[in-house]
Amino acid sequence: MVRNYKRKTKCHTREEISSALNQLDKGSSFRQVAAASGISKSSLELYRTLRKQKKKDFPKKSGRKPTLSKVEEKILTILSTAPDVGWPLDRVDVSDIIQKYCEKLKRKTQFKDGKPGREYMMSFFKRYKARLTSKRAKSLKID
């Protein structure tokens, strides 16, 4: 799994796509419109067929649906930072909390053995770095 994915192609706005499709409707060729707008020819063909099928929306995001919604993740960050615990939680503890949460809801997850892995936890901490911090616990000396 790649941690920092950077898109290789340019993402076009709806206005750019609709103006390019309007040029195609006026009689311009795919090559001319693709060169002028910067949108690939194959993408223009895809958007044109979607318009002909009267699908108003553009293609949805590809990829797997997330296991937890944004609201659920925020709730889990609150649970992870609760002062009632009495000791600081590390990635393994937060991972256990997520696993137990998904098991209680009987939710099918993409995690191996139902437990989030290292990559997921790193991106989870990265998404909520303002709220979650990772610190080592120190043992207290009794004098």
| Per-residue confidence in pLDDT tens, the chain, 143 aa | 556 777 777 778 888 888 898 898 888 888 888 888 888 888 888 888 888 777 655 556 667 788 888 888 888 887 776 666 666 677 888 888 889 988 998 888 888 888 888 888 888 888 888 877 766 666 767 76
Residues 92 and 120 in one domain: yes
44 and 74 within one domain:
no
75 and 115 share one domain: yes
- Is residue 134 classed as helix, strand or coil in its secondary structure? coil
Give me the domain span that covers residue 19: 14-52
H-type alpha helices, 28-89: 30-37, 41-52, 70-80
**pTM for the model:** 0.54
Q: How many domains does the chain have?
A: 2
Nearest-angstrom CA–CA distance, 23 and 38: 13
Residue 137 lies in a domain: no
Evaluate whether residue 39 is within a structural domain: yes
Q: Read off the amino acid at residue 125.
A: F
Inside any domain, residue 142: no
- Say yes or no: 122 and 93 in one domain: yes
